[in-house]
Structure formats: structure tokens, C-alpha cells
Structure 1
Amino acid sequence: MASSHESKVARHCERRRAAGLRPVQFWVPDTRSPEFAAQVRKQCQSLKNDPTEAEVLRFTEEAAAHVEGWE
């Protein structure tokens, strides 16, 4: 017999499918892992003194300015 939680999940999925949606699973890096932090650190260090660093930072800051109000 399905649990109450499983029934709720099934009904939710049915409503989404009826709305023309389908489930999709995404795998993303675990930003909490030490390996992720080390890789970010390594990539940031590789930008140090790079002539395009200022351009990349400007682009990033400009892009970040366009996400206000996103929910």
C-alpha cells in the first residue's frame, strides 16, 4: 500500500504532466565539497594577473545586475 507521502507525490506528478510538463533530473557539482572549493580556488588563481581578468569581472558584474527580482 502506498504511503500518504507517495500518494501526494504521485498526484503532484500527474498534475504537472497534465499541464504538459515532464520530469527532468539535473546533476550539478556539489558546491559543499572540498574538491569543488579547491577547483574554484585553482581557477581563480589562474586568472591572477591575466590581462582579461578585469574584462571578465566587468562582464560578470554586469550579468549579475540583471538578476534582481528573479524568483
Structure 2
Amino acid sequence: MSEHRRRMREAGFRSIQVWVPDTRAKNFAAEAHRQSAMAADAATHSDDQEWIEAVSVSWDDE
């Protein structure tokens, strides 16, 4: 593994660690459903969404 990391660094890459939700956790499906329901019940247009759209760069704009 250290050889692989060395080669990757030499190729210009760097290692990072990313924490993601554990989809195997017993409460994952229920929490995902709860959050999805909250998003679906949210107003279709809000001040928060306007701000996000204002500061976001569209891939089409580049």
C-alpha cells in the first residue's frame, strides 16, 4: 500500500479521508426517509434557495 501511495503522490495526487453515512446502520433507512420527507414538504421556493442559486456556479456557465 505504501508503494501505491508513493506512486500516487509522485503523479501529483494527495490522499484525503472522507466520512460518509453508514448505509448499513440500522437507522439509516428511517433517517434517509425522514430527511427526504422534510425536503419534499418544504416550500418549492425559499429565500435560502434563492441565495444558494445566487452564489452557485452552474457547470453550464463555465
Aligned residues: 43
Deviation at 1:29, TM superposition (A): 0.3
Q: Distance in 1 between matches of 2:36 and 2:29?
A: 10
Q: Distance in 2 between matches of 1:44 and 1:31?
A: 15
Query: 2: CA distance between counterparts of 1:45 and 1:33?
Result: 19
- Is 1:38 equivalent to 2:26 in the alignment? no
TM-score for both structures, normalised by structure 2: 0.54
Identity %: 42
Is the alpha carbon distance of 1:18 and 1:41 closer, same or farther for their aligned partners in structure 2, counting shifts above 3 Å?
same
- In structure 1, the gaps of 5 or more residues are 1-8, 53-71
Name the counterpart of 2:19: 27
**Structure 1 match to 2:7:** 15
Please state how far the C-alpha of 1:36 moved relative to its aligned partner.
1.3
Larger radius of gyration: 1
Moved over 3 A (4+): none
TM-score under structure 1 length normalisation: 0.49
**Cα RMSD for the two superposed structures:** 1.8
